[in-house]
Amino acid sequence: MTYWIHIARSIDRVTLHRDRCSEVPSHSTSSDFWEGGWFDYPDKERALRAMEQAGTNAQRHCPLCKP
């Protein structure tokens, strides 16, 4: 299973999603670590590490897919 994190720098938040979540875009969008975007990880541990290193103040799990 793939996990996605959405870094939203404008609202200072990172959110963890599962790969089948309706919030995850169906196609690749351009993303930049410094401005934010969508990033995929092969396992939950790597995704959680990336969330910690995202540099945002708020971290949350998606309420729709509950990863």
Tokens of 46: 């790597």
Domain ranges (residues) in the chain: 3-20+30-57
pLDDT at 27: 74
pLDDT for 25: 86
For the chain, the average pLDDT equals 89
On the question of pLDDT at 29 being above 90, the answer is no
Whether 67 and 3 have beta carbons less than 8 Å apart is answered as yes
pLDDT at 30: 65
- What is the model's pLDDT at position 36? 84
What is the arithmetic mean of pLDDT over 33-49? 89
- Tokens in use for 49? 């590490």
% of the chain beyond a pLDDT of 70: 91
